[in-house]
Amino acid sequence: MASVMRSAAPQRSSNLDLIRLITASAVIFGHAYLLNRVAEPKVFGEGVGLLRVKVFFVISGALLARSWMRDPHLGRYLARRALRILPALFVVVLFCAFILGPLVSDLGVREYFSAPLLFEYLSNLRFEMRYYLPGVFEQNPYPRSVNGSLWSLSVEVLMYLVLPLWLWVGVKLRAPRLMAWAGVIAICAWSLYWAHVTPPHGMVRIYGTSMRQAVHLAPFFMIGALYGVHGWHKRLSLQWALGGAVLLTFFTPTGALVTVASFLLLPYAVLALAFAKDPAFAGFSRFGDYSYGIYLWGFPVQQLLIMLWGGPMHPLLNFALALPISLGLAALSWHGVEKVFMRLRPETPDPPAAHAGVVPLPRPVAAPIPPHRALVRH
């Protein structure tokens, strides 16, 4: 979710940072219900938590497609992705494992540090997601899970790897736009098939990533990338987006129509608002992008609050307490970790003059030296 929050170059003239902040806050709002075993509110028939993940994936797909097209170099692309998401992830995983865990675990310190489960948790650092630490949050209403938010990060990293391969194949086949459309149609059809025709039997996992979850979310990343490839994300009508949202309130689709409607309307609405021609909230950029930090810290903060409360909390109380704490930790993460490592990202090289549409000027030819001055020393 990553990466939405894990975008390419900063967008100073857009509403992106506000959308990221609102969407990350919706993560905490949705988890406040989940972690207290209360039915989660739904928007357009879908849980708030899952909806916010789709929003992140749409934005991430559009921005990373543009980033790749500006600089289609795999090494620099992967270096930027790693420097954006890994440092903050390392901090929160190591903090939970070696500071929070032993402080709140039901086990003694020696027993905690000798438990195999502790070192399995460190697999999160290579995106093989693990959610449990020995004796931690055992008595919570949603027991044992330390940071359940991380499940979507592994799916997003998978999309990071698929995107350049998808675009590279299109270039090699000399049909980049056709390949872009073919990829989007194929993944949308696969998602519809698994969701509404023949769901997979059992849990299909590749490197700890649920393929069912990946196929459910991948269309939103790929559709966002399609907008980015064509440059459509900056030419959308906010009025049409609002009209589509109003239409959904009167026409409630069911079954596969829900999925198709979300494929069509959600990316359009999100990108139309994010890249509106007159961004009313572009000023949020000066504070920084706290969304990734909220995403990483919100879940353990909420679980800790429930443990200290001694049982289930009212979801709104959990949200009201967890949000400012998570926002504070996110600010520390942004200014102390994320922004520091983002400065190390490789720069996009300047395009050659011919590619930039500039005709190089001829080199000046030195004037011949007059014979009567050729032997004069200076």
**Per-residue pLDDT tens over the stretch 216-234:** 899 999 999 999 888 887 7
Helices (H), the chain: 2-5, 16-34, 48-70, 74-95, 101-104, 109-114, 116-121, 151-172, 176-192, 211-230, 238-250, 256-274, 291-309, 315-333, 339-342
DSSP letter, residue 8: S
pLDDT at 377 over 70: no
Range of lowest pLDDT (14-23, 242-251, 330-339):
242-251
What was the pLDDT predicted at 257?
A: 81
Torsions phi, psi for 46 (to 5 deg): -130, 145
Q: What is the CA radius of gyration of the chain?
A: 25
Torsions phi, psi for 132 (to 5 deg): -115, 145
Range of lowest pLDDT (23-32, 125-134, 273-282, 327-336):
273-282
HSE-CB at 74 with a 13 A cutoff on CA atoms is 8
What is the pTM (predicted TM-score) of this model? Answer: 0.84
What was the pLDDT predicted at 183?
A: 87
The winner for highest mean pLDDT among 208-222, 240-254, 314-328 is 314-328
**Per-residue pLDDT tens over the stretch 141-192:** 999 999 999 988 988 998 999 999 998 888 888 887 788 888 899 999 988 8
Q: What is the mean pLDDT of the chain?
A: 83
Angle separating helix axes 74-95 and 291-309, nearest 10 degrees: 20
Q: Where are the domains of the chain?
A: 2-342
SS3 334: helix
Q: Which residues contact 149 (CB under 8 A, 6 or more apart)?
A: 27, 31, 295, 296, 298, 299
The percentage of residues in the chain with a pLDDT greater than 90, rounded to a whole number, is 47
pLDDT at 344 over 50: yes
Please give the residue that has the higher pLDDT: either 306 or 20.
306
Residue owning tokens 């993560």 = 27
Instruction: Average the pLDDT over 269-277 and give the result.
Output: 86
Q: Please answer whether residues 83 and 89 qualify as being in contact, where contact means their C-beta atoms are separated by less than 8 angstroms.
A: no
